[in-house]
Structure 1
């Protein structure tokens, strides 16, 4: 099994809420054949209720969620599957939890002006993340460090361009 894990690739499409993580991750998956997971599906109900009520999550709230995402990627890796997940991954310590025990983890950081992302988040429907929590995410956001494998892509570019750039940078073929 370890031999399979060493040949897997794992990518987190990261950024604040409304940056387009799901659209870009699904595009990467369509082009590469990686296995997809939406990080929001891993949140315990208490986290979702907290966000729905306009309360930002704490590090204590995020801990079990990040550990569950990491466990899922490790399980997929052991099965020989490469993965692409969405996750805000706002802080270095969150990314460190996600990275634990994996042969590699790359980050595609979707970044852009707060006003562009605020407009997106305000116009979407059916998501539990209210627009008033967006600033708290920008406040927490720590840029990728020079020792972290990642690329930063501008959310103002068309999705297809972002997906093409991400896949080219990853060097993964389906």
Structure 2
């Protein structure tokens, strides 16, 4: 169990429309934390949610900023979604290497609720959101690796995928602009 007084990285995990950003805002307020949400940067900077790989670059810079904030003693909420266990493991490892604990905050959502939330969000603030269709929703649900109880409890972080010497190298490949030394 994490030390309640320790600096903490809160990592929201879930699909679009699950309520991650709402939960991230709550966590930031409750824990006096810096909240980093790529969705709030993509459309203003690039006019679209993915922009030819620029999302990965933006996430890398935000991840570097998060590590620096942790080293300086500031709690951080990363509102990334983190669909894969490898992404979550890398971020957990990086947070621990920065002297912080990491708490996964999984926000599950059923398909009907997800549809309704996305439709509502698109109708209320179309300029702040990106279009999502049924094929996207179904594809995302297939790609998403739901965290298990051991991962949510913060059990041991496993090794990086085969052919990777460590999590920092894997993270630098996944998020091209990430720098562990930032």
Q: TM-score, normalised by structure 1?
A: 0.66
**Please, what is the CA RMSD of the aligned residues?**
2.8
Q: After the TM superposition, which residues 39-78 of structure 1 pair with which residues of structure 2 at under 5 Å, given as runs? A: 39-41=38-40, 43=42, 45=46, 48=49, 50=51, 63-78=56-71
Cα offset for 1:41?
A: 4.0
Q: Distance in 2 between matches of 1:136 and 1:72?
A: 31
Q: Distance in 2 between matches of 1:148 and 1:46?
A: 35
Q: Distance in 2 between matches of 1:87 and 1:8?
A: 19
Q: Which runs of 5+ in 1 are unaligned?
A: 1-5, 51-56, 152-174
1:143 aligns with 2:167: no
Q: After the TM superposition, which residues 23-102 of structure 1 pair with which residues of structure 2 at under 5 Å, given as runs? A: 23-41=22-40, 43=42, 45=46, 48=49, 50=51, 63-102=56-95
Cα offset for 1:13?
A: 1.5
Q: 1:13 to 1:46 in 2, by over 3 A?
A: same
Q: TM-score, normalised by structure 2?
A: 0.63
Deviating 4+ runs (over 3 angstroms) = 41-44, 60-66
Q: Distance in 1 between matches of 2:38 and 2:71?
A: 19
Q: Distance in 1 between matches of 2:9 and 2:113?
A: 28
Q: Which runs of 5+ in 2 are unaligned?
A: 155-182
Q: Distance in 2 between matches of 1:107 and 1:146?
A: 11
Q: Distance in 2 between matches of 1:145 and 1:66?
A: 24
1:121 aligns with 2:109: no
Q: Distance in 2 between matches of 1:24 and 1:13?
A: 8
